[in-house]
Amino acid sequence: MIMEKTPETVDRNPSVAGKFYPADKNELHQELKMLFDSASPQQPLFVRAIICPHAGYIFSGKIMASAFNQIDENRRYKRVFIIGSSHHKYFNKAAVYCDGDFIMPYGKEKVDTQFGKMLVEKYPELFTDDRSPHLNEHSIEVLLPLLHYKLKSAYVIIPILLGTSKSLVCKEIASILNPYFTDENLFIISSDFSHYPKYEDAKRVDALTKNAICANNPDILLTQLTENDRNFIPNLATSLCGWTSVLTLLYITSASNSFEFHAIDYCNSGDIKLYCDHEKVVGYWAIDVVKKNKQAESFQLSDTDKMELLTISRKTLVEYLRSGKILNINEDHLSDNLKINCGAFVTLHNDEKLRGCIGCMTGDLPLFKMVQEMSISAATRDHRFVPITSSEFSSIDIEISVLSPLKKMNDISEIELGLHGILIEKDYHRGVFLPQVGTETGWNKEQFLGHCSSDKAGLGWNGWKSANIYIFTATIFSEKENM
């Protein structure tokens, strides 16, 4: 009897353990804990994809953790697609590791080899099972410990290395992967940003590249990368080393109008105290991709909803000022409107004088939870004021502003004072005025923009003229008007 030959299994050994990250299991765990403790807090609850750097943890670890920290740790993913661009080999395809698992200091990362083989067999013109590009490549390997640390449920990975430099090939690969860009899967895109310009040049070019990515348009990114090259920035070798991986993601996300990008965290190697070289640096951005919440664009709050939110705000503050704990809210009796993800601001007044105001522009939490978070922040974390005390709280009036989605403005004629709030954004500068500022101050449009630009964004009086400006509306209600 002829026995059928069993395919050989070849696990991939780590190539940069002990170099880019600790090779000892316990030391690695401690390093990861430290990185996640310093990372940006979680914003969106259901992330579809993240873009994160792949340098040594000493350089980009905090930014990597900020990206991974956006993932819901309790979510169960069918597959995790990890896409990087090859640093060592050029080939006009995507190499999928299909031969075994990835051996790591803490154990094995399970690879869905059958899925990888399916891609190779069904699309041989675009995918290869050649494992050699993976053997010395770090762009996927260095991300695995963070994924392992963050996710609580079991998962399998699809490691994909792009060897092409042709945008058309990226587009074709994206068309194959697009059906798998669903809620049940997670996509992780590996890329650093600028390589080797001076510190300030890196900050500028990285901001431009980040903005192009967040526009969710492959052509805008390609144009920006070309402009970066044409600006002849000294020592700039590349402004996005994994540009083919990011481009592939954009070809997927831009196929519909369903996704939006959020820039989470940034630094470059010049920010690292042990390194502190500002002459030649590498830039790192953490970016996530979430599905737009269409339901939140047209909802309206009833009078009962408004009263409920004001009650939640006050009860939350009473409990927090008393015990330091966040009040647990029973969601069963809340309307659906209060469970929709919405941006909101909470403003506190004492004897009609501002006593604290904190908010979040985007809807990354259910509205009732957003109001809880912003209430606590307005009372205790507004750096302009000392924290509110329990003895003072009885004289505090609460005002809540629930925000509409942001709309990019092309001309200041679109602003209607008293109706629209504004967000002015340029590079790392952001400034916000709520709609009520326009009526409370009596400013005209130029003053409204000028004060926001200079007082809030730090861009100077005329800085808004070269910045991105977004308008939004707000549903505003307060305890005072309901007394």
Spans of all domains in the chain: 25-292, 296-403, 406-478
Per CATH, the number for 406-478 is: 3.30.1490.150
Q: Looking at domain 296-403, which CATH architecture does it have?
A: 2-Layer Sandwich (3.30)
Q: For all residues of the chain together, what is the average pLDDT?
A: 91
Label residue 403 by pLDDT band (50, 70, 90).
confident
Domain 25-292 fold is Protocatechuate 4,5-dioxygenase; Chain B (3.40.830)
* Nearest CA-CA partner of 406 in 390, 392, 425, 387: 425
Residues 6+ apart with CB under 8 A from 448: 415, 417, 422, 433, 437, 438, 441
Q: Take residue 74 and report the two structure tokens written for it.
A: 């309790």
For residue 158, what are the β-bridge partners? 81
pLDDT in tens, 159-174: 999 999 999 999 999 9
- Alpha carbon distance 474, 409 (integer Å): 16
Query: Per DSSP, what are the bridge partners of residue 168?
Result: none
DSSP SS3 for 195: strand
Closest to 35 measured CA to CA, from 52, 50, 49: 52
pLDDT digits (tens, 9 = 90+) for 255-290: 887 898 999 999 999 999 887 789 999 999 999 999
pLDDT-wise least confident of 165-174, 229-238, 399-408, 458-467: 399-408
Distance, in Å, from the CA atom of 20 to the CA atom of 57, rounded to the nearest integer, reads 6
| Type and span of the H or E element at 380 | helix 367-380
CA distances from 288 to 9, 50, 262, 422 (A): 34, 4, 5, 23
Q: Is 263 exposed, middle or buried (0-12, 13-18, 19+ CB in 10 A)?
A: middle
Rounded Cα distance between 328 and 273, Å, is: 41
pTM score: 0.64
**Residue 45 pLDDT > 70, yes or no?**
no
The span from the CA of 386 to the CA of 420, in Å, is 30
